[in-house]
Structure 1
């Protein structure tokens, strides 16, 4: 390798190093997503009576789109009522009067100012049972929901019809 080629390689490597160093030194702050600052009730709080609303506060304004705020009780039922409201850095929702004592989970999914979704969960504990009536089941099952004929009935009917049709076709071919 000639000395001029070696100088070019060293010069190129030094220039690349200086570009990387300058980009690190002059880089602006990274754009971060919203993060939860506080909640009412507070994370892990024990309350003797259920609050009328839950409110979450974030470090920046939230977009009022695709937001979800639910409260699930120890009975695996929803306890929120109505729609969540976003005002600036806060999202809140009204609660039904709470029922069984135990851990309630505030589940959230919000859209940060930069458009990215942020989700999480804030638990609190109700120490004294209330008299409230829950909303629907959070796991999607509802014992009072009779959605009609079970699927297995349709499967049995299809198997019987296919069996009868096959038997009919086989016997007809055997006769001819």
Structure 2
């Protein structure tokens, strides 16, 4: 009887662990980007002095990276990423030319998981000190009339393999306990040799 109680307790514990893992998945979703400046796909009058990404929670400062590359592949990021509240900002070097820019960012979310994403914008004129000619694009708005902040940039999160591993271990434990229980019950159901001779 003692073994049976212990076995039932172990089975209930394993079932509770599996239920906790599957229910905790959606609740423990990683942080996500809510907006960027400039907005993804925006056209701005001149290359900005900095770019920024706003998140739904405050990311950790460790391991943050933001690259701002022009059409030629030159990275115009200047210095380290600055995180204030839930916004990560990256300054640009002076003289950034006109043209299309691609921003690739990577931060560590508040739950210690790395998240990353990208967005792009176009500058119709170079920043102060730049020498490139203005970019002519269809429907380019007048300087000062463009919107700098808007829709959230694309972001991606690593697949939660840890949850899958824990679930597999818990299910394996359930199978082992089930086999042991069947064997134990089988032994308990066998008649004693003395009883068989009666």
Is the pair's TM-score, using the shorter chain for normalization, greater than 0.5? yes
Residues 163-174 of structure 1 mapped to structure 2, 5 A cutoff: none
Is 1:127 the counterpart of 2:124? The answer is yes
After superposition, give the CA deviation of every residue in 1:138-167 in whole Å (9 maximum; x if it has no partner): xxxxxxxxxxxxxxxxxxxxxxxxxxxxxx
Task: Find the structure with the greater CA-based Rg.
Answer: 1
CA contact (8 A) 2:47 2:98 kept: no
Residues 113-152 of structure 1 mapped to structure 2, 5 A cutoff: 113-130=110-127, 131-132=129-130
Aligned twin of 1:62: 59
CA distance in 2, matches of 1:119, 1:27: 25
CA contact (8 A) 2:53 2:88 kept: yes
> Cα–Cα, structure 1 residues 71 and 90, in superposed 2: closer, same or farther, change >3 Å?
same
Deviation at 1:128, TM superposition (A): 2.4
CA distance in 1, matches of 2:30, 2:116: 11
CA distance in 1, matches of 2:109, 2:85: 11
CA contact (8 A) 2:68 2:76 kept: yes
Of structures 1 and 2, the one scoring higher in RCO (CA 8 A, sep 6+) is 2
CA distance in 2, matches of 1:118, 1:129: 31
Deviation at 1:98, TM superposition (A): 4.5
- Gaps (5+ residues) in structure 1? 1-15, 134-176
* TM-score normalised to structure 2 length: 0.51
Is 1:75 the counterpart of 2:69? The answer is no
Deviation at 1:132, TM superposition (A): 2.9
Is 1:41 the counterpart of 2:38? The answer is yes
SS at match of 1:65: strand
Deviation at 1:51, TM superposition (A): 1.1
Instruction: Please report the RMSD computed on the Cα atoms of aligned residues, expressed in angstroms.
Output: 2.8
Deviation at 1:41, TM superposition (A): 0.6
CA distance in 2, matches of 1:61, 1:52: 22
Residues 15-26 of structure 1 mapped to structure 2, 5 A cutoff: 23=19
- Kindly tell me the number of residue pairs found equivalent between the two proteins: 116
SS at match of 1:75: coil
